[in-house]
């Protein structure tokens, strides 16, 4: 996963353009992708797919021709979606177009201007402080032209058509935690799924406009659950942000899986990543957001310090483990109906007690069967039974399987 982050890191991504396509090309080397190209001008709800932006080079050069700011050194140096510029201007004229972080003088910020024509450069404050007065050559070799918005989907077929979506944004340039770690973890999750119950759809698309475009073009009625995955590799504790519903099944699953780990649970707010699109009132999907340190919650966020060294392989492995466990629980969670609800059915004559003989967890397995029988009324799912009984989810799910095979519950 970390090697993939390193490979994707140098690409100049934005909400459109060749950098997005190159990113999808690399993702497609690891998992099969359905690619989509949506033309500029396409109406998607209240939004319109914008013109495509591509950039070849950019720099600020001093009077001696030395490049004091160079896009070739870091694609963060140019404000995303900058219009073309070719001019000579004084430092005073240039300053309004320069963006720095005075409190982090060696870091370069990440800035964009997606939906209004503008241009600018981002640089370290210490670089700006060292620039003498005088004239500078300013060049941004970019294009804004009709083109396409690109995104990719990978589907893992399940035993049912109902879907779980996992969404990652791929619109940020050289930012390793905020978005590349999530992309790498999502790919690893997709490769690990084998014959799941639900169908899993992995979405790799630009933030906001990508999610809105996907929602406008696809049948969301099949979506039962979902997770927006971002900031998956920093060393902070895991954070889960609930869906707008607040009690969606995915919310309860993640809270269950995270209960024995250092973590934070946040209520929904309409700010952050694309959970706010999936949870907009017209859709109100059961989609939460999984990060480590949340949106804008760490100093390195949207700066050059969010580089591959900032991303921890161990943290990505932990995020992967939590998602795999969460999806395993989600796939097994059901509501059952007791088919013999009048009194406790005789388990012994069905061989259910005999099957427990000699097991070190026989007492827990027996209690799990009794709890499943008692709460299988069509209203309680296995997570409810786990919480109520205090037993492990695996024990409750195994008991439900045994009772179903014996014809005592259905679901």
Which residues lie closer than 8 Å to 266 by C-beta, 6 or more apart?
239, 240, 241, 242, 294
Residue 372: its H or E element: helix 362-375
- What domains sit in the chain, N to C, each tagged with a CATH number? 2-50+148-332 (3.40.630.10), 52-145 (3.50.30.90), 335-410 (1.10.10.10)
Is 225 annotated as contributing to ligand binding?
no
Parts of the chain with a pLDDT under 50? 356-357
- pLDDT score of 351: 82
Following DSSP, what letter does each residue of 70-101 receive, concatenated? ETTT-GGGB-BTPPPEEEEEEHHHHGGGEE--
Q: Is 172 annotated as a binding residue?
A: yes
178 labeled binding residue: yes
pLDDT of amino acid 360: 56
Q: What's the pLDDT at 7? A: 98
pLDDT at 361: 67
The CA distance from 385 to 105, in Å, is 54
Is 335 strand, coil or helix?
Answer: strand
| DSSP output for 146-213 | S-EEEEEEEEE--SSS-EEEEEEE---SS-IIIIIIHHHHHHHHHHH--S-SSEEEEEEE-TTHHHHH
Q: What confidence score (pLDDT) does residue 23 get?
A: 98
363: Cα separation from own chain's centroid: 40
* DSSP label at residue 293: S
Task: State the Cα–Cα distance between residues 268 and 257, nearest whole angstrom.
Answer: 19
Q: Which helix (H) or strand (E) holds 393?
A: helix 393-405
pLDDT digits (tens, 9 = 90+) for 11-64: 999 999 999 999 999 999 999 999 999 999 999 999 999 999 999 999 999 999
Helix ranges restricted to H, 226-312:
249-258, 275-278
Decide if 168 contacts 229 (C-beta within 8 A).
yes
Please report the pLDDT score of residue 355 as a whole number.
55
What single DSSP character describes residue 78?
Answer: B
Return all residues near 33 (Cβ < 8 A) that are at least 6 apart.
24, 27, 152, 153, 154, 204
């Amino acid at each position: 996963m970390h090697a993939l982050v390193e490979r994707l890191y140098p690409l100049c991504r934005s909400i459109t353009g060749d950098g997005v396509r190159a990113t999808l090309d690399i993702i497609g080397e690891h998992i099969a992708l359905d690619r989509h190209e949506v033309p500029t001008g396409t109406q998607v709800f209240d939004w319109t797919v914008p013109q495509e932006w591509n950039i070849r080079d950019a720099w600020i050069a001093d009077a001696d021709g030395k490049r004091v700011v160079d896009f070739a050194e870091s694609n963060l140096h140019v404000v995303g979606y900058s219009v073309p510029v070719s001019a000579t201007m004084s430092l005073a004229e240039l300053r309004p177009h320069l963006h720095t972080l005075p409190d982090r003088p060696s870091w370069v910020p990440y800035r964009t201007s997606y939906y209004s024509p503008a241009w600018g450069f981002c640089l370290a404050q210490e670089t700006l402080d060292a620039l003498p007065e005088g004239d500078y050559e300013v060049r941004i070799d970019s294009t804004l032209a009709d083109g396409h918005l690109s995104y990719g989907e990978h589907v893992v077929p399940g035993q049912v058509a109902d879907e779980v979506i996992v969404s990652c944004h791929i619109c940020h340039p050289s930012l390793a935690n905020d978005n590349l770690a999530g992309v790498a973890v999502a790919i690893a999750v997709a490769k690990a799924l084998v014959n799941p119950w639900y169908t899993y759809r992995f979405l790799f698309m630009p933030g906001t406009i990508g999610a809105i475009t996907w929602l406008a073009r696809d049948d969301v009625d099949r979506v039962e659950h979902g997770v927006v995955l971002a900031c998956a590799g920093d060393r902070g504790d895991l954070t889960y942000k609930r869906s707008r519903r607040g009690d969606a099944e995915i919310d309860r699953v993640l809270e269950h899986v995270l209960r024995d780990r250092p973590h934070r649970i946040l209520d929904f707010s309409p700010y952050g990543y694309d959970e706010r699109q999936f949870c907009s009132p017209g859709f109100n999907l059961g989609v939460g957001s999984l990060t480590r340190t949340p949106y804008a919650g760490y100093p390195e966020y949207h700066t050059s310090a969010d580089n591959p060294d900032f991303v921890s392989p161990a943290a990505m492995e932990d995020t992967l483990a939590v998602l795999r466990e969460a999806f395993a629980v989600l796939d097994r969670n059901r509501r059952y109906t007791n088919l013999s609800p009048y009194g406790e059915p005789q388990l012994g004559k069905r061989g259910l007690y005999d099957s427990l003989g000699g097991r070190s967890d026989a007492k827990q397995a027996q209690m799990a069967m009794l709890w499943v029988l008692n709460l299988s009324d069509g209203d309680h799912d296995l997570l409810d039974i786990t919480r109520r009984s205090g037993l492990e989810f695996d024990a409750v799910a195994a008991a439900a399987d045994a009772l179903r095979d014996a014809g005592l519950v259905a679901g």
